[in-house]
Amino acid sequence: MIRLKINRAGAMAIALATLLVSATEGSETVPAPPQTHPILLRGGEIHTVSGETFENGQLLIIEGKISQVGGAKLQIDLPPDTEIIDVTGKHVYPGLIAANTTIGLVEISAVRATVDTAEAGTFNSNARVEVSVNPDSEVIPVTRANGVLTASTVPQSGGIISGRSALMRLDGWTWEDMIVKAPVGMHVYWPRLQAGYSQEPGAKENAAAERRKAVEKTIRRLEEFVAASRAYAKSDKNPADLRLAAMEPVINRELPIFVHADGVGQIESAAAFAERENLEIVLVGGQDAWRVADLLKRLDIPVILSPQSLPRRRGEGYDTNFSSPAKLSEMGVRFCIANDGSAASERNLPYQAAAAVPFGLAKEDALKAITLNAAQILGVDDRLGALDAGKDATLIITDGDPLEIPTHVESAYIQGRKLDLSSRHTRLNEKYKGKYDGTEGN
CATH of region 30-95+385-442: 2.30.40.10
Q: Tens of pLDDT along 234-281?
A: 999 889 999 999 999 999 999 999 999 999 999 999 999 999 999 999
Q: Tens of pLDDT along 108-159?
A: 888 888 888 888 889 999 999 999 999 999 999 999 999 999 999 999 987 8
Q: What is the average pLDDT across 350-376?
A: 96
Q: How many other CB atoms are there within 10 angstroms of residue 119's CB atom?
A: 17
Is beta strand 91-94 parallel, antiparallel or unpaired with respect to 395-398?
antiparallel
CATH 3.20.20.140 domain locations along the chain? 96-192+233-380
**pTM listed for this prediction:** 0.90
How far is CA 169 from its chain centroid?
11
Which residues face 159 on adjacent strands?
none
CATH class of 96-192+233-380: alpha beta
Residue type, 337: I
How far is CA 416 from its chain centroid?
22
The answer to whether residues 325 and 356 touch, using CB atoms and an 8 Å cutoff, is yes
Q: Tens of pLDDT along 18-39?
A: 544 444 567 778 999 999 999 9
CATH 2.30.40.10 domain locations along the chain? 30-95+385-442
Whole-angstrom Cα distance, residue 106 to residue 302? 27
